[in-house]
Amino acid sequence: MVASRTATGGPARTTRKERAAETEAALKEAARRVFARKGYLNCKIVDITEEAGRAAGSFYNHFAGKEQLLEALAKDMLEGAGEGFAEPHAHHDLSDLDVLRDHVAVFWHTYRTHLPEIVAMTQASMTDAHLAERLRQMRMAHMGPIRDHLETMCEDGLTLPGAAPVVASAMVSMLEQFCYVWLVTGGEELGRPLSDDEAIDTLTRFMHGGIARSS
């Protein structure tokens, strides 16, 4: 496999490690496409290798099974989950409409971007306790920052409609269900598409009303 050319103009071949990394990445991306098309439970390993254009046996050089591949995808998602919450704001007062919208937007776009993994994890969690724990960790990656910000706001004198961890759970539960309805099942009978901005703005104003009115 040719990656570049040497200083003399000849082809520079990739190393075995580089080829292995390319294959692993190809299998992950193929799995995401197959999960999205067929669902995790109906997906077979051969479906993934065919989608990736790799030999069936190559899969087991990287993963013990599709469960381990899904966990690798979840790990990748978890590692990047916190990056989106580094807003340009100097504070994280969620009673500030713009700050709250940033959090809602990150959740919505993360859910959309990682839809194949999230749906697959939800399906797998019904029968696999380890993947169920991974799904919980994914949820906490979103809920943790919101809970921390709410607790800080309480210390600054804000009165919430309930304990900060419970309010954070309610907010994330609303986000999760709303995202599932519109991004997974196709949404309600609206008669028109729901844009990202409308979804984010509606969620933001709804949650902001509960936080701001309680202060």
Number of folded domains in the chain?
2
Mean pLDDT of 164-173: 95
In this structure, the dihedral spanned by the alpha carbons of residues 31, 37, 40 and 43, taken in order and rounded to 10 degrees, is -70
Q: List the one residue out of 110, 11, 127 whose CA is nearest residue 70.
A: 127
pLDDT tens-digit readout, 119-152: 999 999 988 898 888 888 888 888 888 999 999 9
pLDDT tens-digit readout, 59-94: 999 999 999 999 999 888 877 655 554 444 445 789
Residues 119 and 148 in one domain: yes
On whether the CB atoms of residues 53 and 137 are closer than 8 A, the answer is no
Residues 42 and 125 in one domain: no
Residues 188 and 116 in one domain: yes
Residues 48 and 95 in one domain: no
Q: Give the residues across from 13 on adjacent strands.
A: 2
Residues 200 and 130 in one domain: yes
Residues 82 and 29 in one domain: no
Question: Domain range spanning residue 42?
Answer: 2-63
Last residue of a domain, one of 63, 93, 110: 63
Strands (E), the chain: 2-5, 11-13
Residues 29 and 9 in one domain: yes
Last residue of a domain, one of 63, 83, 106: 63
CATH number at residue 11: 1.10.10.60
- pTM over cut 0.85: no
Q: Three-state DSSP class for 62? A: coil
Other Cβ atoms closer than 10 A to 120: 27
Residues 118 and 157 in one domain: yes
Q: How many angstroms separate the CA atoms of 42 and 27, rounded?
A: 17
Helix axes 115-124 and 16-38, enclosed angle (nearest 10): 70
Other Cβ atoms closer than 10 A to 27: 24
